[in-house]
Amino acid sequence: MNRVRVGICGLGTVGSGVFNLLSTNGTEITRKTGRQIDVSLVGCRRDHPACDLSTTTVTRDIFDVVRSDDVDVVCELIGGTDVALDLVREAIAHGKHVVTANKALIAHHGESLFQLASEAGVSLKFEASIAGGIPIVKAVREGLAGNRINWLAGIINGTTNFILTEMENAGNRDFADVLKEAQDLGYAEADPTFDIEGIDAAHKLTILSSIAFGVPLNLAALYSEGFSAITVEDIRFASELGYRIKHLGITTRSEQGVELRVHPTLIEKSRMLAQVNGVMNAVMVGSDAAGETMYYGAGAGAGPTASSVVADIIDVARSDGQSGGVPEFGFIPQALETLPMVPMEETASCHYLRMRLLDKPGVLARISTILSQHDISIESMIQKDGKTGTAPVAIITDEIRESAINEAIAELEALAEVDGKISRIRVESF
């Protein structure tokens, strides 16, 4: 039997998961590929207690893996974009197929790396870079290949979803309190910036947008907004108005071009995406023939992410490294289309506005007048009784262009009757 020899670079959560999954399910994998897939070399700074490395060659220099004659497929599982970039480039130069779970690497350097891989006649696969165990790349690229995809929206970061879910369930726990719990549970890093500011989701959405629409990677054009300003008061108002707050990645294609944005979003409680809780991920896709489809599952962790890495290794084994007629982004490279990227100011959504107003007659009428002057209609509104001389008010507007709502918010915040900043969250109907 023609063996496939795998070299693993990095033996952390994902690397150890891949090592153990290839061992545990080896017989099943051989039945599916007709080939024996073995880990021939592991490059790691330290051994992992969950892995039995007694019969596996280990090196402390990960570059030994890409240079080894005993490795056919390199699994890049170290993360980051510096050493990982050099590692993948050298692996390709040595004629190795590469499987990675590194979304930042693909979002920043994917096109140049795919070009290098094509010229070298090897594969570069990245299913595990998005949504952990959910096979969303294959679903969009292959399962929906006959469709024109119009939009895609997803909860693609489990840390953010856990925090928002706990803030809602607990009722009185603020962002900082739940973030600390997420860190204690290992869901959030000591420095959680990539998660809470939407950077992690931005990398993933950039890749998904390219696969969905056949456009070049364009991380620089993406609008990203974190969710640390969301309060328990926002969550309560949203619930009373019939919504839940989720941190979404959204990309759409229209006559104006492609929208690419990550931000907190109000979704109607009845929508499937609004019912995804905890650390789970979900992606909804809107296409012309299949209609709305949703893909749900664990977005991180040793087992789920290893599942996607091993699936890519199996693809390489089945095809002897050939693409099998499936381009990595789903569109043949020469057919990628450079569409206009719609600036955030030109996008349109309904909006949730929460503000504190001086509790006296005529204030709401003045607020309504200013919104009307910007062609903004009020769809629904809640006003609570004021106890300290101000009253909290929440408004849902009709759909309006971003530039118009920005101007209106600036004008409202300048009023003496408005106490402090206005909280704004976009509202979508996915």
pLDDT (tens digit per residue) in 101-160: 999 999 999 999 999 999 999 999 999 999 999 999 999 999 999 999 999 999 999 999
Mean pLDDT for the stretch of residues 280-286: 98
Asked whether the predicted pLDDT for residue 1 surpasses 70, the reply is no
Q: Could you tell me the strand order of the sheet in which 4-9 lies? A: 57-59, 37-43, 4-9, 73-76, 97-100, 124-125
Residue 366: what pLDDT?
A: 95
Q: Between the CA of residue 282 and those of 183, 295, 423, 429, what are the distances in Å?
A: 22, 5, 26, 15
pLDDT of residue 326: 86
Return mean pLDDT, the chain: 95
Beta strands in 201-306 (DSSP E): 223-224, 243-254, 257-268, 280-287, 291-298
**Two tokens at 387?**
């106890």
What pLDDT is attached to residue 22? 98
Domains of the chain are 4-133+302-335 (3.40.50.720), 138-298 (3.30.360.10), 345-427 (3.30.70.260)
Q: Determine which of 74-88, 107-121, 377-391, 404-418 has the lowest per-residue pLDDT on average.
A: 377-391
Contacts of 192 (CB under 8 A, 6+ apart): 159, 179, 182, 183
**Mean predicted confidence (pLDDT) in 224-228:** 96
pLDDT tens-digit map of 336-373: 999 999 999 999 999 999 999 998 889 999 999 999 99
204 is catalytic: yes
Note the helical H segments in 171-198.
175-184, 193-196
Reported as a pLDDT band with limits 50, 70 and 90, residue 170 is: confident
Q: How confident is the model at residue 430 (pLDDT cuts 50, 70, 90)?
A: confident
Residue 11 has pLDDT above 60, yes or no: yes
Q: What percent of the chain has pLDDT over 90?
A: 91
pLDDT at residue 69, as a whole number:
97
pLDDT band at 319 (very low <50, low <70, confident <90, very high): confident
pLDDT at residue 325 tops 90: no
Which residue out of 138, 204, 246, 360 is catalytically annotated? 204
Burial of 375 (0-12, 13-18, 19+ CB in 10 A): exposed
State the pTM of this model: 0.95
**pLDDT confidence band for 389 (50 / 70 / 90):** confident
Model confidence at 328: pLDDT above 80 = yes
Residues in CB range of 291: below 8 A, 6 or more apart:
none
What pLDDT does residue 14 have?
96
Residue 321 has pLDDT above 60, yes or no: no
One-letter amino acid at 34 equals: G
| Range in 135-149, 189-203, 375-389, 407-421 the model is least confident about | 375-389
Point out the least confidently predicted range of 196-205, 229-238, 326-335, 417-426. Answer: 326-335
Alpha helices in 223-379 (DSSP H): 232-240, 302-319, 363-373
What radius of gyration, in Å, describes the C-alpha atoms of the chain?
Answer: 24
